[in-house]
Amino acid sequence: MIRRQPRRIQSGLGHPARLVVLGFGAAVLIGTVLLMLPVATETGDSTGFVAALFTATSAVCVTGLVVVDTATHWSTFGELVVLGLIQVGGLGIMTLASLLGLLVARRMGLRMQLTAQAETKALGLGEVRGVVLRVVAVSVAVELVTAIVLTARFASGYDMPWGRAVYEGVFHAISAFNNAGFALYATSLTPYAVDPWITVPIMLALITGGLGFPVLFEIGRRLRGRLRRWTLHARITLATYAALTVLGIVVITAIEWSNPDTLGPMGLGDKLLVGAFHGVSPRTAGFNTLDVAQLSPAALLVTDFLMFIGGGSAGTAGGIKVTTFALLAFVIVAEIRGEPSVHVMGRRLSAEVQRQALTVALLGVGAVAAATLGLLLITGLPLDAVLFESVSAFGTVGLSTGITAAIQPSGQLLLVGLMFLGRLGPITLAAALALRERARRYELPEERPIVG
């Protein structure tokens, strides 16, 4: 008789979801300690625990919300720590751990493979090695190209010394691809709002990172002629991402077109460029070329909507993801039509996928609602500003109306938890907190309560 071995990988700290959470938590802790060192600040004074923790969490979770000005508060050492945390958080803790295992041991154990699979959303264990290496290769390639363009522009267009131009080009390229939103200017990228040689490469980098690595890999295979048919995931992601991007650009530009504090005083070309940037940036990028506090309430609400949805799965973007949003839309359409199952682009959606999409969306709504209520009670600030801050933190976006530094430490800690949840995803965090996985051995009698 063959006795089945217990699945140790699914219990205790060995559960992949728990290891992902612990990995990100460890990175935040290490970053906090480094940022509290006196050498990390321009003045040589130690940064307080809450400010260091907030900055480290924002960097690891590739958010971009800050309670201290990145350019003036942190020294070069501190900025490099922030940059390193952004890269670590963007690539994924377990992706980097798996890469290290490949380089050092030339092999990966089952536990490391399962953990990397949970982080990179690989389809099978046999693909993990290739996925990890391709993730790193794509990241470095996009960041390098973006950094070269930005460096050349900083040096030639703004008479910036080459050393400084390289530093700023690399910093903003890494921040853009990882959708982090950290900038070396107190007003983000507003000094370059109407310079397409700065804003366009950054937009392209953040879109590339926001699509998600599975879609990028599929595009690569398609271009090389190795793929004849798009997967359902890629088709849904590309179509929904493109539609929401166009919608964001058109709506925000139209709303702010005559606003004297934003697009109003600009010429036609500048309005279109800046409007396009602010239609793309809420997809979890976090950079801004306009004063967000001066946006009209309607534009803020549209931005809330875009930030909450976010970008593609298994990439550097946050939010509930465009696939989740699209799947829920397909479920609603099927229910309205009275169809017994959900069909999308020639495929049928499983009940499991539908439950996952619903769970992610509702947990996201609940987290944002709870955080907004908490911040309202703590700060007493206006609802639109507090809601914007909460959605930005959950979506790991980093846009703000300028209230982050004014929020009390208890409110900042609340945002820390929200950023952590947003980066890991509600399901990953819930699975990590669950005591164990259980198989249902029986089903209860069915009954239909009244809905609606």
Beta-carbon contacts of 83 under 8 Å, excluding residues fewer than 6 positions away, are 170, 171, 174, 175, 182
Per-residue pLDDT of the chain (452 residues; tens, 9 = 90+): 444 444 444 444 555 667 777 888 999 999 999 999 999 999 999 999 999 999 999 999 999 999 999 999 999 999 999 999 999 888 875 465 444 444 444 444 544 455 555 555 544 444 566 777 778 888 899 999 999 999 999 999 999 999 999 999 999 999 999 999 999 998 999 999 999 999 999 999 999 988 887 888 888 888 877 767 888 888 999 999 999 999 999 999 999 999 999 999 999 999 999 999 999 999 888 899 999 999 999 999 999 999 999 988 877 788 999 999 999 999 999 999 988 889 888 888 888 888 888 888 999 999 999 999 999 999 999 999 999 999 999 999 999 999 999 999 999 999 999 999 988 877 666 665 554 556 677 778 877 787 77
What is the C-alpha to C-alpha distance for residues 25 and 20, in angstroms, rounded to an integer?
A: 8
> Are the C-beta atoms of 371 and 439 separated by less than 8 Å?
no
Q: What is the token pair recorded at 333?
A: 């359409």
- Does residue 52 contact residue 35 with C-beta atoms inside 8 Å? yes
Q: What percent of the chain is modeled with pLDDT above 70?
A: 85
Q: Provide the residue type at 308 as one letter.
A: F
Asked if 132 and 99 count as a contact pair (C-beta separation under 8 A), the reply is yes
Total count of residues recorded for the chain: 452
Q: What is the DSSP letter of 450?
A: -
pTM, entire model: 0.87
Residue among 209, 182, 184 nearest 398 (CA): 182
Count of other CB atoms within 10 angstroms of residue 190? 16
| Burial environment of residue 253 by CB neighbours within 10 A (0 to 12, 13 to 18, 19 or more) | buried
